[in-house]
Chain A
Amino acid sequence: MNIDTTINNLPILTWNWLKINNVPFSYSAAVNAADSTVAGTLPEGVSYKADAGSDTGAYAGIATGVGKNTDSVFTEAKVRTALITAKKNVHVSAPVLISFDQADRSSTASAQIIRAEEGSSVTVIISYTSPESASGFQAVRTLCSAGKNAYIHLVKVQLLGSSFTQIDDTGTFCEEGGRVEVTQIILGGKETYAGVAAALPSYQSSFKSDTAYLCMGEQKLDMNYIVRHTGRKTDCKMSVKGTLSGNAVKTYRGSIDFKSGCAGATGNEQEETLLLSPTVVNKSIPLILCDEEDVAGEHGATIGRLGEDTLFYMQSRGISKQSAEQIMARAKVAGTAALIPDETVVTKINNYLDKAFAHE
């Protein structure tokens, strides 16, 4: 496969010198399809098809955050898209677990469609792991479709090896009263390109995302989140928290797009970035696009290092500066990890953090 393109495109352009309108992406190597296999027993009320086949057509219109420019990665690898369906009016209590344990020097692509039928609810946890210093490439695309008054909680946990490149692409769609929540933890990999696009075309549909990351050493993280409100009284909340240290480079694009007709819509976006090294690079661009009068949108961002008051307080309790910084970096991840309803996955996250901080 040969791909040389731009991904994570902003919905509206700004100064080119900022190099934030999109990110160039190129990859040249064979990519193999990897199935999205459910770990353990499939919870009651959930159906699973390893290959959605022609059913994928019904979801082709769902836009994703990374964008269409990576379509060829999935088509050329001949990816089989798994279809996970929560049946009508069933509240699935146990999460559906999908684990990708990547081998060193592997290069794979996978795709899933998560569908919650009317009145149902389901949590799907997708985790990505590999040996600690493994290299490789992984592309994942997940589409979520929440039916009328249905609820999907999608959790994505990235704990890949230190030389991995990952594209994690997500698109969501909600019918009337439907809601999708995306909880995303990004700790591993050398280069991660994460994108989420949420469509809220229906009355009182809603979207919430909580993202936490830790970027250390030479890691690069590029994110693109877009919520498009077209339905009346739709609501979105986006939260992105993380820490940069070493020579880490992070870009965050977050867009709330109030389209004409979305009267009564509300949107809120918050970003917190903790900077722990003088050689980090942080880029942020939180957009609000508004084509409708009757809306309320807001965003806020705080970027900086640990506050002197906080540091002084912790040092006065005998905590070293380095420990204090690690505590705060861990807290940013822990707050988001607490939203994950699976202790095993949370433990994996904590173990990963322990190792990451031990190497500092």
Chain B
Amino acid sequence: MSDTNDGGKTQVDDIDSSIYDFRYDEKDFYRNDPGLTEEIVSKLSDDKHDPAWMKEFRLKSLAVYNELKVTNWGPDISDLHMEHIATYVRPNTKMQGDWKDVPKDIKDTFEKLGIPEAERTSLAGVGAQYDSELVYHNVRDEVAKQGVVYTDFESALWGPYADMIREHFMHLVTPRAHKFAALHGAVWSGGSFVYVPKGVHLSFPLQSYFRLNAKGAGQFEHTLIILDEGADLHFIEGCSAPKYNVANLHAGCVELYVAKNAHLRYSTVENWSKNMYNLNTKRAKVEEGGTIEWVSGSFGSHISYLYPESDLVGERAHAEFTGITFAGSGQNLDTGAKMMHMAPHTSSVITTKSISKGGGISTYRSAVYIAKNAVGSKASVSCQSLMLDSESRSDTIPAMEVLTDDVDVGHEAKIGRISNEAVFYLMSRGISEEEARSMIVSGFANPVSKELPLEYAVEMNNLIRLEMKGTL
């Protein structure tokens, strides 16, 4: 901490006290060669005992990857060099169904992250991925008895749902979507498959947690969730990694199928380390009367590109995206959402908050598309940005495309800083300036944090408090 005074503000160094920044050695782990070649992809496929179609799919995806260019928009990722990234790191364990059987280092990692405790108290099932593979997967008996399938992706490829997987895998997010979707198609590993049968409502959420411990590696998990007619699920995704001085890459893929009148809430708290390139792709297809709700907290990563897409293909389908992005020092987080209205009387709501501090760059980017046949559709976008200093940057880039007249589209955006009057008011009540600013930021984030599961909301507020330390 330094106590220099600059322009009336006391400058305090950032505090690196992240609870996520711990690591263990890769003892007896398998790690493939860094880089991306046909040989590496073939060997990965062989090692994972892929079905023949999957191996072919991987190699075709690799060809698409080599063909596509990096986007001409968004944050600069020229420092990400695939030739230095190991695309597959397998821990020295098989997937277990009991935490007792998980190797100590790995178990300790998830204990520190609070996963086993959360499983005991408030979850219907848990999947825990360490580097490239799941190390733990379990679902409560009463949930399984309802016909709910929650399993690791590799098992699902060979199990009774193999055909269902083949029919859905990378059909929503195709390898042609963009270069890193193609990369995912080539080297994906890990992730979860969920199927909720017709009419089944899960009263507790399922949760997958992704931990990337390996230095200079990538994580490419695939999450496929299929909700049958009238089903209801809350799925929580968490992710973190220790910080290294070399680039790590996360290029996961989430595909969500929401059938007629089904309801899916997909919550994410992303807290990757600040050497991570988070180039993740998420897309949901929502049928008649179905609902997808995205709740997203983006705190980590060096660079993020993340815009969950909702394809409202059935009449009266509905989507909501509620997100917060906190970009601190060394971070360039480009986040937002895409709402594609492709059927009559569909509706969507986007509510986002972004905070920039310490030279961080936060960009809100969205697209609302209303097709010609989507008559009677409604879309609402509200985005607010908070600038905490003049070294930071915040951009708002919302696009709207409307191809019919019978619509109601509203958009509002605001950008500004913490109100001096509000800080003064709180300080006049005996609250320190730092605490006052922290309270105001927490209040700003509240509409998002209240949508998260309680333990994540608490975690998010703690993160904000940590990030706000030293802003004066």
Contacts and interface: CB of A to CB of B under 8 A. Distances in A.
B417 A285 contact: no
A357 B412 CA distance: 32
B405 A15 contact: no
Interface in B409-428: 409-417
A160 B270 CA distance: 54
Interface in B363-379: 365, 367, 372, 375
Interface string B398-442: 111111111111111111110000000000000000000000000
Contacts of B417: 293-295
Contacts of B389: 293
Interface in A259-313: 260, 263, 275-305
Contacts, number: 139
Contacts of B375: 278
A296 B415 CA distance: 6
A14 interface: yes
Contacts of A14: 73, 365, 367, 397, 399
A258 B396 CA distance: 12
A291 to B, nearest CB: 5
Contact of A18 (B367, B404, B415): B367
B17 interface: no
A284 B73 contact: no
A290 B407 contact: no
Contact of A292 (B387, B405, B408, B413): B387
B9 to A, nearest CB: 11
A342 B392 CA distance: 46
Tier of interface size on chain B = 35 or more
B388 interface: yes
The prevalent SS among residues of B at the interface is: strand
A263 B387 CA distance: 12
Contacts of A304: 405, 407-409
Nearest to A298: B414
A289 B71 CA distance: 20
Nearest to B178: A15
Interface in B185-235: none
Contacts of B346: none
Nearest to B394: A290
Contact of B401 (A12, A18, A258, A295): A18
Contact of B73 (A15, A276, A302): A15
B388 A281 contact: no
B387 A303 contact: no
A277 to B, nearest CB: 6
B385 interface: yes
A358 interface: no
Residue from the set B367, B390, B393 with the largest chain A CB neighbour count within 10 Å: B390
Contact of B390 (A293, A298, A300): A293
A302 B409 contact: yes
A269 to B, nearest CB: 9
Given A287-B396, A290-B394, A281 B402 contact: yes
Contacts of A303: 400, 402, 407-410
B404 A278 contact: yes
B377 to A, nearest CB: 10
A308 to B, nearest CB: 10
Contacts of A302: 409-411
Contacts of A294: 390, 417
A20 interface: yes
B416 A16 contact: no
A13 interface: yes
A301 B395 contact: no
B211 to A, nearest CB: 31
Given A293-B387, A297-B416, A302-B409, A16 B399 contact: no
Given A299-B412, A299-B413, A303-B409, A15 B390 contact: no
Contacts of B416: 295-297
A280 B398 CA distance: 20
Contact of B387 (A277, A278, A295, A305): A295
Interface in A148-163: none
Given A290-B385, A294-B390, A304-B409, A284 B414 contact: no
B292 to A, nearest CB: 20
A13 B400 contact: no
A287 B417 CA distance: 18
Interface residues of A, number: 43
Contacts of B5: none
Contacts of A244: 405
A328 to B, nearest CB: 13
A50 B407 CA distance: 49
Nearest to A289: B395
Residue from the set B387, B399, B412 with the largest chain A CB neighbour count within 10 Å: B399
Contacts of A290: 385, 387, 393-396, 415
A285 B403 contact: no
Contacts of A283: 399-402
Contact of A285 (B372, B399, B406, B414): B399
A190 to B, nearest CB: 20
Contacts of A288: 385, 395-396, 413, 415
B415 A287 contact: no
Contacts of A20: 399, 401
Contact of B395 (A12, A16, A281): A12
Nearest to B369: A18
Contacts of A305: 405-407
A284 B400 contact: yes
B245 interface: no
B72 interface: yes
Interface string B127-142: 0000000000000000
Nearest to B373: A278
Contacts of A285: 397-400
Contacts of A260: 390
A20 B415 CA distance: 23
Residue from the set B72, B73, B385, B400 with the largest chain A CB neighbour count within 10 Å: B400
A304 B394 CA distance: 29
A295 to B, nearest CB: 7
Contacts of B73: 12-16, 21
Contacts of B405: 244, 275-278, 280, 304-305
Contacts of B390: 260, 263, 291-294
B388 A293 contact: yes
A14 B307 CA distance: 12
A298 B411 contact: no
> Which 6 pairs between the two chains have the least Cβ-Cβ distance?
A275-B405, A13-B73, A303-B409, A301-B411, A293-B390, A293-B387
Interface of A: 12-16, 18, 20-21, 244, 258, 260, 263, 275-305
Given A281-B403, A283-B399, A303-B410, 8 more contacts: A12-B397, A18-B367, A21-B73, A275-B402, A298-B414, A299-B413, A300-B410, A305-B405
26 contacts: A13-B73, A14-B73, A14-B367, A276-B405, A278-B404, A279-B404, A280-B404, A283-B400, A285-B398, A290-B395, A290-B415, A291-B390, A293-B388, A295-B387, A296-B414, A296-B416, A297-B413, A297-B416, A298-B412, A300-B413, A301-B400, A303-B407, A303-B408, A303-B409, A304-B408, A305-B405
